[in-house]
Structure 1
Amino acid sequence: MQRFVKFFREVGREMRKVSWPKRKELTNYTITVLATVAFFTAFFAVIDLGISKVIRVILE
């Protein structure tokens, strides 16, 4: 039991050392991630449709 208490004390101590992002930085990071995910989703959807079309043409 003593080991668990020591572990969580050390975790708390380390978490106080963490440099947390400010609200504006966090908002910018979130927007960047969402935009990147949206871009790659659209990109791979277009690639998938193109490859599917090529395969359908070859098989017909």
Structure 2
Amino acid sequence: MIGFIAQGQGISYLPSIMVEKIDYRGVVFVPLKDTPLKREMYLYAPDKNKLDKLKLGFDT
């Protein structure tokens, strides 16, 4: 996605954890302050058995 933005193909809303880990030439990151923006996160696994084991480490 960042590659498209660097080519002038649009803009994006990115989580801070992603922005903190990348430095991409031609892309400017502007922090959004005082906004009520939230995002939901999902845990994904290829099957229910693996998902059940993974969920043990998360408070769901």
What TM-score results when the alignment is normalised by the length of structure 2? 0.21
Give the helix-richer structure, 1 or 2: 1
* Higher CA-based Rg: 1
